[in-house]
Amino acid sequence: MNIQEFEYNAERAADLLKVLASRPRLMVLCYLTGGERSVGEIAALTGLRMASVSQHLAVLRSEGVVERRRAGTTVHYRLRDPVAHEVMAVLERAYCHGDTRTSAALPPVRAAASQG
């Protein structure tokens, strides 16, 4: 890989991480790793207001992370970006299942960063 390709890929990775760097968006995406969900389902599962869920989904859609499908008056979303799907699969295994053995074994990110 030449330097231009490396820089381009680094920029794409940084852009994805910026989009993911939101607690509500991560909550939404954790539920979407299991498959397509409606806005109402996501709101009920996350405890977020539907308007907030819709705003976060709009950001994710504008960045190409998710795509939507209309079924009558219901809008369903699913993960679209395969790289985001892989990243979320890793995060889901580590954090989304409430497995305290896994998440407790991981150092807090800020603490780990200050040690490096």
Q: For 30-71, what is each residue's pLDDT tens digit?
A: 999 989 999 999 999 999 999 999 999 999 999 999 999 999
DSSP H helix total and E strand total for the chain: 7, 3
- Whether 41 maps to a domain, the answer reads yes
- Whether 13 maps to a domain, the answer reads yes
DSSP assignment letter at 5: H
Structure tokens at 5: 């390709």
If one counts the domains in the chain, the total is 1
- Whether 26 maps to a domain, the answer reads yes
CATH of the domain at 30: 1.10.10.10
Domain housing 61: 3-103
Q: For 7-23, what is each residue's pLDDT tens digit?
A: 999 999 999 999 999 99
- Whether 108 maps to a domain, the answer reads no
List the 37-38 sheet strands across, edge first: 37-38, 74-79, 66-71
The DSSP line for 48-80 is --HHHHHHHHHHHHHTTSEEEEEETTEEEEEE-
